[in-house]
Homo-oligomer: A and B are copies of this chain.
Amino acid sequence: MNDVRPIRAKSGTNHEGTSAHNRRVMIDALRINGALSRADLARATRLTKQTVSNIIEELERDGLVSSQEAVRKGRGQPSTPYRLVPEGAFAIGLQIDRHVTRAVAVDLVGNVLVRDEAGLPAGGPSEGTKVILDLVAGVRAELAGIVQQSEKRLVGLGAAMPGPFGVAGSGDDPWMMGAWQKFPLLETLTAGTGLDVGLQNDAAAAATAERMVGAAHGLDHAVCLFVGYGIGAGLILNGELYRGSNGNAGEIGMALLFADGKSTPLEHRASLASLYQHLSADPADPDLHARIDGLALRGDPSMEAWIEAAAADLRWSIHLIETIFDPQTVILCGSAPEGLVNRLIVAIGPLLPSIAERRGRTLPRLQPGMADPWSVALGAAAGPISRAFDPHFAAILKDSR
Q: Hey, which bits of chain A sit against chain B, CB under 8 A? A: 1, 3, 7-15, 17-18, 21-22, 25, 28-29, 32-33, 36, 40-41, 43-47, 51, 73-74, 164, 166-169, 218, 220-221, 233, 237-240, 242-252, 254-256, 258-259, 263, 316, 319-320, 323-328, 352, 354-355, 357-359, 391-393, 396, 398-399
Contacts and interface: CB of A to CB of B under 8 A. Distances in A.
Copy total for this chain? 2
* Residue from A220, A245, A325, A396 with most neighbouring chain B CB atoms (10 Å): A245
A46 B324 contact: no
A109 B238 CA distance: 27
Closest 6 CB pairs of A and B: A244-B326, A9-B29, A9-B44, A221-B245, A12-B47, A393-B393
A167 B358 contact: yes
B45 A168 contact: no
Nearest to A165: B355
A244 B221 contact: yes
Nearest to A265: B323
B316 A258 contact: yes
Nearest to A396: B396
Contact of A319 (B21, B73, B218, B256): B256
Contacts of A167: 355, 357-358
A271 B41 CA distance: 50
B11 A45 contact: yes
A254 B316 CA distance: 12
Nearest to A243: B326
Given A244-B221, A328-B245, A21 B13 contact: yes
A242 B235 CA distance: 12
Nearest to A392: B393
Given A18-B18, A245-B221, A319-B255, A29 B44 contact: no
A326 B246 CA distance: 7
Contacts of A25: 9-12
Contacts of A14: 18, 47
B46 A33 contact: no
B355 A164 contact: yes
Contact of A168 (B243, B328, B359): B359
A45 B238 contact: no
Nearest to A248: B326
A181 to B, nearest CB: 12
Given A47-B398, A167-B358, A249-B325, A8 B22 contact: no
Given A15-B18, A21-B12, A43 B324 contact: no
A349 to B, nearest CB: 16
Contacts of A9: 25, 28-29, 32-33, 41, 44-45
A36 B326 CA distance: 39
A73 B218 CA distance: 52
A327 B168 contact: no
Contacts of A328: 245
A316 B255 CA distance: 9
B45 A12 contact: yes
Contacts of A74: 1
Contacts of A239: 10
A64 B378 CA distance: 49
Contacts of A250: 324, 326
Given A22-B12, A32-B8, A256-B316, A323 B251 contact: yes
Nearest to A40: B7
A245 B7 CA distance: 34
B256 A352 contact: yes
A27 to B, nearest CB: 10
A138 B358 CA distance: 37
